[in-house]
Amino acid sequence: MPEHVGTVLLLICLFEVKHMFADFYLQTKKMLSGRCQYFHPGRAQHAGVHALASVVVLFVMGSPAWFIALICAVEWFIHFNIDFWKAHHTECNKLDPTQGAFWRAMGTDQLLHHLTYVGMTAAWAAVCL
C-alpha cells in the first residue's frame, strides 16, 4: 500500500475513534437536555469537545497550527448545526427509539458527521501531504 494511503486511512480511523468517544462517552446531562433551542450552551460544549479532540488528532498527525485552528473551527460549526437539526427533528417531534423516523434521523446525523471527517481528511491531504 502506498505510504500516503496508509496515512490517510490512519487519519480517518483517528477521527472515527475520537467521534465515538466525543459523541457517545463524553456527553453530559447538560449537553443532552433542552436541545430544541438553537443557541444551546450544552450543544456548543459538545461541539467543542469534538473540535478539541480533533485538535489532538491533527496535532499528532503533524498538521500546521493554522490548519488545525481553521479546520477545527469549521468542524465545530458543522457539528453544532448537524446536532441542532437532529435534536430539533427528534425532540420537537417527540420521536423515540421505537419509531423508524428516530433511527432515520440518527443515521442521517451520523452519516453527516462521518462525511465531515472525509472532508476534513481531504483538506488535510491537500495541505499536509
pLDDT at 93: 92
d(Cα 35, Cα 29) in Å, to the nearest integer?
Answer: 11
d(Cα 66, Cα 9) in Å, to the nearest integer?
Answer: 23
DSSP state of 28: -
d(Cα 120, Cα 114) in Å, to the nearest integer?
Answer: 10
- Identity at 13, one-letter amino acid code: C
d(Cα 76, Cα 7) in Å, to the nearest integer?
Answer: 24
pLDDT at 35: 75
* Parts of the chain with a pLDDT under 70: none
pLDDT (tens digit, 9 = 90+) per residue, 49-81?
999 999 999 999 999 999 999 999 999 999 999
What are the domain boundaries of the chain? 3-31+38-128
DSSP state of 33: S
Diameter over CA atoms, the chain: 49
pLDDT at 37: 87
pTM greater than 0.85 (yes/no): yes
